């Protein structure tokens, strides 16, 4: 099984690239943000709990995220060659939890693909997405800024965490969707 992590700040294009990668390499795409938005939509207990947190641009607590992740990883379909994790891990404790889950299966993270993107491009992309999708956390400048602050504070330390294991690969995320996809595929094909 392959376990790829697609990494980067909000608006880097993780979701878009994950869909393309899942199709090309027969991977299951797990987007924690998408799963959380579905919970909010269905007004489940979990959805009600996380709604305000997400709409303020803060992170949902690690235990809640982990419980959700464990559920989807154990529901894998036939023909699945691995996973593309999009939006997980977002904190060091989440990365440690993932390592433990994989270790128990005799597996490890195959590669972390990091989309590096300029801060002004982040705002442009999120503004574009806000026009196409109804995401409350994309509509308000303060919320977007808050998500970027959370990213720097809690998620960015993961770069050093994964660099240390030698499985960290950088991609210039400022380019077009097609160019980014090609760069990512080149990395995946090289380490296969």
Q: Which residues make up the interface to ligand ADP (CB under 6 A)? A: 10-11, 14, 32-33, 36, 53-54, 57-60, 65, 87-88, 90, 94, 137, 147
Strand ranges of the sheet holding 27-31, from the earlier edge strand across to the other edge: 27-31, 82-86, 2-7, 111-116, 168-172
Name which of 78 and 131 has its Cβ closer to ligand ADP. Answer: 131
Name which of 21 and 59 has its Cβ closer to ligand ADP. Answer: 59
Question: In DSSP terms, which residues pair with 172 in a beta bridge?
Answer: 116
Name which of 33 and 173 has its Cβ closer to ligand ADP. Answer: 33
Name which of 78 and 132 has its Cβ closer to ligand ADP. Answer: 132
Please, what is the minimum distance in Å from the beta carbon of residue 89 to ligand ADP? 6
Q: Between 62-73 and 32-41, two packed helices, what is the crossing angle to 10 degrees? A: 100
CA dihedral sign, ordered 86, 88, 89, 90: positive
Name which of 27 and 36 has its Cβ closer to ligand ADP. Answer: 36
* DSSP for 83-142, written as a single string: EEEES---SHHHHHHHHHHHHHTT----EEEEEE--HHHHHHHHHHHHHHS--GGGT-HH
Name which of 46 and 60 has its Cβ closer to ligand ADP. Answer: 60
Residues 82, 1 contacting (CB under 8 angstroms): yes
Please, what is the minimum distance in Å from the beta carbon of residue 172 to ligand ADP? 18
Please, what is the minimum distance in Å from the beta carbon of residue 101 to ligand ADP? 14
Please, what is the minimum distance in Å from the beta carbon of residue 131 to ligand ADP? 15
Residues 115, 12 contacting (CB under 8 angstroms): yes
- Ramachandran quadrant class, 8 (left: phi over 0; alpha: psi -120 to 50; beta: rest): left
State the residue number with the nearest CB to ligand ADP.
33
Please, what is the minimum distance in Å from the beta carbon of residue 71 to ligand ADP? 14
Please, what is the minimum distance in Å from the beta carbon of residue 33 to ligand ADP? 2
What is the rounded distance in angstroms from the CA atom of residue 192 to the CA atom of residue 10?
28
């Amino acid at each position: 099984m392959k376990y790829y992590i697609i990494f980067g700040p909000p608006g880097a294009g993780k979701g878009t690239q994950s869909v393309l990668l899942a199709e090309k390499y027969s991977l299951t795409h797990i987007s924690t943000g998408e799963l959380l938005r579905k919970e909010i939509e269905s007004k489940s207990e979990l959805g009600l709990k996380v709604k305000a947190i997400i709409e303020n641009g803060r992170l949902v607590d690690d235990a809640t995220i982990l419980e959700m992740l464990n559920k989807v990883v154990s529901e894998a379909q036939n023909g699945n060659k691995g996973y593309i994790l999009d939006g997980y891990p977002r904190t060091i404790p989440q990365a440690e939890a993932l390592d433990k889950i994989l270790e128990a299966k005799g597996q490890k993270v195959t590669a972390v693909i990091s989309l590096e993107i300029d801060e002004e491009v982040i705002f442009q992309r999120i503004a574009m997405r806000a026009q196409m999708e109804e995401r409350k956390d994309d509509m308000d400048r303060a919320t977007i800024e808050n998500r970027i602050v959370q990213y720097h504070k809690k998620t960015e330390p993961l770069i050093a965490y994964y660099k240390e294991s030698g499985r960290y690969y950088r991609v210039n995320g400022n380019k077009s969707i097609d160019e980014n996809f090609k760069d990512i595929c080149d990395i995946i094909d090289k380490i296969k």
